Amino acid sequence: MLRYLLPVVFAGVLAAQPRVLVSSDIGGTDPDDFQSMVHLLLCADRFDLEGIVSSPPGGGRRENILQVIGLYERDYPALKTWSARYPTPARLREIAKQGGASAEGADWIVRAARRDDPRPLHVLVWGGIDDLARALRDAPDILPKLRVYFIGGPNKMWSVDAYDYIEQNHPKLWMIEANTTYRGWFVGGNQTGEWSNSGFVASHVEGHGALGDFFATLLNGTIKMGDSPSVGWLLHGDSADPSKPGWGGRFVRVWDGRKAVFTRLTTEADQVEAFGVVEFGLGLPGPAKAVYDGRIPALGVNRFRFSPRDAKVWRYEIDGKAGAFTAVTAKGGPPSKRLENWWIDDPDPAAAEGVHAGAKHVSRWREEFLRDFAERLERARTAKKR
């Protein structure tokens, strides 16, 4: 019996199965998306899953989604004995789409959002936010239907132009921007014995169906699952109110002043907010290249944006000219009047796990969400006795 599943609440009333669309950079820069995809599919009976979109950065493709669906297909005969609501493998393949350079991903978001259904569409963004930005650009009418949970941090760093477009042009979007809170899924909480990142895999994952065996091969047999808080948000808590606690965290209203615009090269004396947006408008005559931290390239015409993912000194070159700035830890501020539905990591130091703001709002639930995951992995291994 799954002991920790509470009803999902929307607008103060018991809701039907949440409509969910996932945008993932699976197969790209971080294998933890594969881990979170395993978790998502084992929880798929709790949702009306309407799309799984491959959204780079990185080398991820639709084929990486299909790889995990193939493993799910091997476990499906056991899973469906526990719940008739598990989607068929054929259905999952039907809703797996390619995003990025292809318009298919953005078009699928639009199609899902425009479906005649009174329920909101929860868009869980595990990678770059480019496909969502494209969907909003092409079909701004879909905005009222969307409830976005964005795993930001490094994903925001790699898709900062798309993020900036949404923030500037669609300020009424309902958005949770989790730049650090998500780290509570694998940092903090009870890390002893079977609940440690490696102990859990050894005790509860390996040997539990095709999905479990695959999971155990990833990241040297340790848990990261950095995108799973977005799924946890819909499993346990009030999905309509980010200020309330739940497996996906607890958030505060975003404040203004998170974007710094410079018309000159900067120095270490120039301070910006970590996980904010830094924009350089240098009046260059044509296209040029920027490189941040010696490894993160960007092309642009006059405008060059970056989102620093750590509080430290960041160095860069734009058109071959060097500069630097200092990113500092966010202190918060009065809720923005322009971004009325935008939520972000709690800056209260008491809610942090080390340098990770808000992460204790997830790690406090560690035993509960891992116990739930373990019981779902048992479903993949053993059919329900009749």
Class (C level, CATH) for 15-255+332-381: alpha beta
Output the average pLDDT for the chain: 93
Domain coordinates in residue numbering, the chain: 15-255+332-381, 259-328
How big, in percent rounded to 5, are the helix, strand and coil portions of the chain? 35, 25, 40
Sign of CA dihedral 168, 172, 175, 179: positive
pLDDT > 60? residue 7 = no
DSSP 23-65: EE-TTSS-THHHHHHHHHHHTGGGSEEEEEEE--SSS--HHHH
Asked whether the beta carbons of 170 and 143 are under 8 A apart, the reply is yes
pLDDT tens per residue, range 331-354: 999 999 999 999 999 999 999 999
Which residues is 344 bridged to in the sheet? 177, 252
Alpha helical stretches, state H, the chain: 32-42, 62-82, 89-95, 104-113, 130-138, 154-158, 160-169, 197-200, 209-216, 228-235, 360-363, 366-381
CA distance 126 to 32: 10
**pTM for the predicted model, two decimal places:** 0.94
Residue with tokens 């996932």: 22
pLDDT of residue 15: 52
Asked whether the beta carbons of 281 and 259 are under 8 A apart, the reply is no
Residue with tokens 């479906």: 115
For residue 336, give both structure tokens: 């923005």
Which residues is 303 bridged to in the sheet? 281
The CATH number of 259-328, from 2.60.120.1030, 2.60.40.420, 1.25.40.80, 1.20.58.480, is 2.60.40.420
pLDDT > 50? residue 4 = no
pLDDT of residue 102: 81
